Amino acid sequence: MTSCTIHRTSRIDRAKEELAASAESVLEELRARPEKERARLFADLFARLLGESAPTELHTHRQSVLGDAERSRTEGIASISSALWRRLIELEGLDAQRADVLAEVLGALIEAPAVLSYFEFEASAHGLSNAARILAEALDARFPGFVETRARLPITRDVLEGAGLDLSGLQVQFHSTGHLRRLAPRSAGRGAPTLELDSEPGRGRYGQTGKRGGYGFLVSERYEAGHASGTFCSPWHDGEEYQNAKPWLVWVLECASEIAKVS
């Protein structure tokens, strides 16, 4: 067994241990207050995530998170599911079974395309694209057409702010549909980064000129059909062209993050 395999195995075990510890906390609360609905919903979530290794006692308290519980309760479950997803990818503990559970829960409780896109952006920023792929495959298996739907996700103000983007220092314009039209720094000069999106989600342009390390550069990029393609010019790159496959919202948020740095 290689050191890499040992390292990954230890992380998977750690993920299982953390899930089991969380499940035990839920059980302690249920022993004290067995009627508490929120705790019974959590019991169901952790029983799903732990699978065959879930304590028998956990199953006796379960109330389906996909049933008719009050909306205020399920919103809490959705939030915890999101936090669990982030923690599992940190621990490299997101296997196909756990991804399927989270896909079912998140897809049922929240607008799935937007949720996964946020996760993809976070995963991409941390070099965890494989975790995003696993969850994407699980969501698409449970919700046919999901991948196609998220590729046409409108970029609304709620989507931008929900992803943690501070719009206060930016010029923001929207199409009449509420989909983002233009994003740029509020007070930057000529050559500042600018993002312009077509009226139909899934297509747009990004451009920027500036200096890095004392040398000028130019970026001109176009997004369509799930790919970002463009040209990069600098003293060492004479119109170098590139093309990368990238999820729609991941591309938008990466561009928006660059713009926010200048504002």
What confidence tens digit (pLDDT) does each residue in 32-58 have?
888 887 788 778 888 888 888 888 888
pTM: 0.60
Between 36 and 190, the more confident residue is: 36
Give the pLDDT confidence of 79-131 residue by residue, as tens digits: 666 667 667 766 666 677 777 777 777 666 655 555 556 566 555 555 555 66
List the single range of 173-187, 192-206, 221-235 with lowest mean pLDDT.
221-235
pLDDT of residue 246 exceeding 70, the answer is yes
Q: If residue 84 lies in a helix (H) or strand (E), which one and from where to where? A: helix 71-90
Tell me the mean pLDDT in the region 245-257.
85
Three-class secondary structure assignment of 194-211 = EEEECCCCCCEEEEEEEE
Average pLDDT of every residue of the chain: 75
pLDDT band at 179 (very low <50, low <70, confident <90, very high): very high
Dihedral sign from CA coordinates of 102, 105, 107, 110: negative
The C-alpha atoms of residue 233 and residue 239 are separated, in whole angstroms, by 5
Q: Which of 7-16, 17-26, 132-141, 218-227 has the highest mean pLDDT?
A: 218-227
CB atoms within 10 A of CB 215: 10
List the one residue out of 224, 90, 103 whose CA is nearest residue 152: 224
Between 201 and 249, the more confident residue is: 201
Helix, strand, coil % (nearest 5) of the chain?
Answer: 55, 20, 25
The C-alpha atoms of residue 159 and residue 165 are separated, in whole angstroms, by 9
State residue 7's pLDDT score: 41
pLDDT band at 153 (very low <50, low <70, confident <90, very high): confident
State residue 85's pLDDT score: 65
Between 20 and 7, the more confident residue is: 20
List the one residue out of 259, 210, 250, 200 whose CA is nearest residue 228: 250
State residue 238's pLDDT score: 67
State residue 191's pLDDT score: 67
The C-alpha atoms of residue 99 and residue 137 are separated, in whole angstroms, by 9
Q: If residue 244 lies in a helix (H) or strand (E), which one and from where to where? A: strand 237-245
Query: Do 161 and 183 meet the contact criterion of CB atoms below 8 Å apart?
Result: no
pLDDT band at 205 (very low <50, low <70, confident <90, very high): very high
Question: What percentage of the chain exceeds 90 in pLDDT?
Answer: 15
Query: Do 43 and 62 meet the contact criterion of CB atoms below 8 Å apart?
Result: yes
First to last CA, the chain: 50
What is the gyration radius of the CA atoms in the chain, in angstroms? 22
Tell me the mean pLDDT in the region 235-255.
79
- Which strands form 215-224's sheet, in the order they lie side by side? 170-174, 180-185, 194-197, 204-212, 215-224, 227-234, 237-245
Tell me the mean pLDDT in the region 217-223.
85
